[in-house]
Amino acid sequence: MSDHCGVDRRNFLVASGIGLSGFQFGQPALAPAATATQDSGNHPAKSTILFFLCGGASHIDTWDMKPMAPAEIRGPFQPIETSVPGIRLCEHLPLVARQAHHLAVVNSVSGYDPTNSHLAYYYHLTGHELDPSFVQLGGARRQQVDDWPFMGSVVASRRPRHPFLPNAISLPWIPEGPPDIRAGQLAGRLGVEHDPMYVLATQEQPLKFEAPALTLGNAMSGDKLLQRRTLLNHLDESRRELDQFAATRIWNRRQERAFSLLSSSQTINAFDVASEPESVRNRYGQTVNGMSLLLARRLVEAAVPFVTVFWCPNKKTAEDFKCSSAGGWDTHGNNFQCLQQLLLPEFDRAFSALIEDLADRGLLNSTLVFVTSEMGRQPKIGDPRSGGVAGAGRDHWTHCLTDLLAGGGIRGGQVYGSSDRHAEYPATKVVTPADITKTVYHAMGIDDLEATDSQNRPYNLLADGRALSELF
């Protein structure tokens, strides 16, 4: 069996937190949970879709181009006009350019990370700066139980429990994969009951989404599942007399949730992208990332509060194009070839389809769409690790990047803030990942961020930052 975008199936349970195996998704008919209704945009968003461009997307080659900069800075790409006068995007994003009237382009995000590494996942997924342990451990620093929670987990914890789906779902892969999961993807100190459920897919079968933590497997029928539940209930009664720890109670809640999910046909139907018309699937592009965004739209229709799509790298195609990023956005070498031939066409098609589809269905006003990455790329071309100037790559650059926001009450057709003339540092209206995270919470109607720890002591889930209310 092929790996799900590089994730070891046997280790998947470490991250999923549900603890059963088996159950494929893919039966006809859309879940009847939510119907598309026109939203006025005058109240908080019902759902968020976070599209995370794993690896570090080059802001200067996409959203924040500098055509007047020297050639060693600007590169070969040219900006093009969009549906909004004054907003210009990369020439290799023609479909997204047509949706610019829906976008807020935030060009002044300062996500400085002292490690200048992919550990910046944590900052952009939680809104919290890296603590000293990140600097001390470097690449060995992984998810810890007392980490600050992923923004999707915070949203999940603040919304009523969904009747048949988790409140937070992440797909189609786990960056790095367990047990080496990147810090920032899970609920951390908020508790494992608020971890997102991970749903995986493969490059070879992009229409087939699968949650190994919910898979019954060939030998497990529904009747056997119920028998196993009865047995577990008897065991649990004995165990409760001996074990009163909070972790046990959490496990019991997760176990009950798993059985609920397994027995719901609505759960199966919600993940069935194959039932979508072929014309719709073709519009998104029938790649694993395109189908993941289509699934995200279906989950929004099913009223899931938070859906995260982590860009899944296509390593085989990357090899074909001699793209040293391994199919992700970490373009240390051959930056322009990787972007032009591999990354931008797939992103352009899928992301523009998502925005257009949500708008056409009357769902965009009630759905916040958010695109970010763990960093931008160094404006000066030539990463020493990939042959310098001859390698045509861009190194990591956490000092400046661009975030995109659309829907959820966001006023489209605007650029917020600016970077300097070489896109090296924010110049005006400087914002941080904490501000962006607070903006997501604000769009979702979450203003109370007070929580209590295991000793019932109050703390704030994100004290820093402010919601960018002027975007709405």
> What pLDDT is stored for residue 67 in this prediction?
97
Q: Which residue has the higher pLDDT, 398 or 223?
A: 398
- Mean pLDDT, range 362-376, rounded to an integer: 97
Of 47-56, 192-201, 315-324, give the lowest mean pLDDT range: 315-324
Q: Phi then psi for 136, rounded to 5 degrees? A: -70, -40
Residue 429 has pLDDT above 90, yes or no: yes
Instruction: State the burial class of residue 314 (Cβ atoms within 10 Å of its Cβ: 0-12, 13-18, 19+).
Output: buried
**For a pLDDT cut of 70, what percent of the chain falls above it?**
79
Is the pLDDT at 233 greater than 70? The verdict is: no
Q: What is the pLDDT of residue 237?
A: 52
Above 80 in pLDDT, residue 192? Answer: yes
CB distance 52 to 372 below 8 Å: yes
pLDDT classification of 181: cutoffs 50, 70, 90: confident
User: What kind and span of H or E run contains 261?
Assistant: helix 246-262
* Model confidence at 179: pLDDT above 80: no
What would be the CATH architecture of the domain defined by 9-471? 3-Layer(aba) Sandwich (3.40)
Q: Report the pLDDT averaged over residues 75-84.
A: 97
pTM for the full predicted model = 0.87
Considering only 47-51, 226-230, 406-410, which range has the smallest mean pLDDT? 226-230
Task: Report pLDDT for 34.
Answer: 35
Residue 289 pLDDT > 60: yes
Higher-confidence position of 64 and 222 = 64
DSSP H helical segments within 275-391, as ranges?
A: 278-284, 288-301, 315-320, 335-338, 344-360
